[in-house]
Amino acid sequence: DAGVIQSPRHEVTEMGQEVTLRCKPISGHNSLFWYRQTMMRGLELLIYFNNNVPIDDSGMPEDRFSAKMPNASFSTLKIQPSEPRDSAVYFCASSSTSGYTDTQYFGPGTRLTVL
């Protein structure tokens, strides 16, 4: 069975460029989470969708970050313009139920480097 799929696995870009990260959740899952992981701040929740609707985006750092979920099988996280401090590993996770406490299945992550 396919797990959560993220692309690209690695992204290197220059400051000021637009970056789009992609996620395909596990089929049938109705909750999707975007996280960011850094050495300094650990793993932080950015945004949570349930049934394609953003439920909690309070973790999105600033207006440069935006996330969409146009359908149940696809989500994007966009950073425009990107800055060096955005460098991190971005994870997408999905869950078969609503809420935060049920088992979340994480993708392999996208390692973003902004020069």
Partner 1 sequence: TQLLEQSPQFLSIQEGENLTVYCNSSSVFSSLQWYRQEPGEGPVLLVTVVTGGEVKKLKRLTFQFGDARKDSSLHITAAQPGDTGLYLCAGVISAGGTSYGKLTFGQGTILTVHP
Query: Whose Cβ is closer to partner 1: residue 20's or residue 56's?
Result: 56
CB 3 within 8 A of CB 92: no
Say whether residue 91 binds partner 1 (CB under 8 A): yes
Question: What is the rounded CA–CA span in Å between residue 67 and residue 76?
Answer: 6
User: Position 107: which residue type?
Assistant: G
Q: Residue 74 pairs with which residues in a beta bridge? A: 71
Identify the residue among 1, 28, 42, 53 touching partner 1 (CB under 8 A).
Answer: 42
In angstroms, the first-to-last Cα distance of the chain is: 36
Say whether residue 104 binds partner 1 (CB under 8 A): yes
Say whether residue 93 binds partner 1 (CB under 8 A): yes
Both tokens assigned to 10? 């690695």
Say whether residue 101 binds partner 1 (CB under 8 A): yes
Question: What is the rounded CA–CA span in Å between residue 65 and residue 20?
Answer: 10
Helix or strand run (H / E) with residue 105: strand 105-106
Identify the residue among 58, 62, 70, 71 touching partner 1 (CB under 8 A).
Answer: 58
Query: Whose Cβ is closer to partner 1: residue 47's or residue 79's?
Result: 47
Say whether residue 56 binds partner 1 (CB under 8 A): yes
Summarize as ranges the residues that interact with partner 1 (CB under 8 A). 4, 42-45, 56, 58-59, 91, 93, 100-101, 103-104, 106-109
